[in-house]
Amino acid sequence: MPNERTMKQIILWLIMIIFVSFLAAVVLFILSGDNWFTDYAYKSRAICSIPAILRLQ
Amino acid sequence: MNQHDFLNALRLELEKVPHVDKEGIIAHHQEFFRIGLEQGQTEEEIAANLGSPQAIAGYYEAHHMIGLAELESSLRNLFYAIKAVLRLGISNLVLILGPVLGVFGAMAALLSAGAAVSLAGLFLFGGVLLNLLEPGIVNIPSAFYSDGLTAAATLCMSVGFIALGLLFLIGDYYLGRILYRGTLRHLHFHLRLPRREDTYAQ
């Protein structure tokens, strides 16, 4: 196993990758309009306004 | 069994246990006999109180194995330490094997969960890429790659899953290290439980 310092860097990189990739995925799903993600988001009213606005456009 | 027979039997049993200070242990038990005799007990009574030479040799073997597992962390050493403690008595089977199997089961479940999240991300990533190159080659729901943006979003999501699974596995590794040390402490605790010879050590 790598030493503690390298492990900390790997963990930080993984956290950044997780954050950025999921954020990018949410933004892209919303931008793509009608799909399974926006359907669920719309039904659950979690981010209901964004897909609704996109649909109106 | 008198002192001579007892010490001979102990010496024979200790021959089977490598890396222990045989002469030191024999001298230690000779001292118990001396103290017992001073207290007015017979050699047979002292030998009966000390327990069987086989059990005493097993105790020292278990002690050595735990020390080895502490010195060099590996599953093999941990397995040998557990096996050595289990051989000490039937009560250890319940008090050690139960918790140890529980810990191993929990660790296996956590490792599987981490690997499953990573592999799910990896398969989704590969599946979407292959379907973009040649549609229908891999059977995954078209909702994941119906248009360019959705496919890009799914690829980002799958990268997130791969990273999340890897982070989960790293967490499992650190948890495993804690549980390894905890298991060795548990084994030490069982070895420290009052033994017959402690009557003379006091």
Contacts A25 to B, Cβ<8 Å: 153-154, 156-157, 160
In total, the C-beta contacts within 8 angstroms joining chain A to chain B are 56
Q: Is any Cβ of chain A less than 8 angstroms from the Cβ of B142?
A: no
* Three-state DSSP state, B70: helix
Helix (H, G, I), strand (E, B) or coil at B80: helix
Alpha helix (H) residue ranges in B87-147: 90-92, 98-133
Could you tell me the residue ranges of all domains in chain A?
4-56
d(C-alpha B116, C-alpha B99), whole Å: 25
Q: Does B132 touch chain A (CB under 8 A)?
A: no
Contact A25 B166 (CB under 8 A): no
- Report percent pLDDT > 70 for chain B: 95
Instruction: Tell me which chain B residues have a C-beta less than 8 angstroms from the C-beta of A40.
Output: none
- What's the pTM value of the predicted model, to 2 decimals? 0.75
In angstroms, the separation between the Cα of residue B169 and the nearest Cα of chain A is 11
The domain spans of chain B are 3-88, 100-189
For B124-146, write each residue's pLDDT tens digit. 999 988 888 887 788 888 788 88
Banded model confidence at residue B195, pLDDT cuts 50, 70, 90: low
Q: Is A34 left (phi over 0), alpha (psi -120 to 50) or beta?
A: beta
Q: How many Å from the N-terminal Cα to the C-terminal Cα in chain A? A: 52
| pLDDT at residue B198 greater than cutoff 60 | no
Question: Above 60 in pLDDT, residue A48?
Answer: no
Nearest to B156 among A11, A15, A21 (CB): A21
Between chains, do A7 and B170 touch, taking CB under 8 Å as contact? yes
Q: How far apart are CA B157 and CA B89, in angstroms?
A: 53
ipTM over 0.95: no
Contact B152 A28 (CB under 8 A): yes
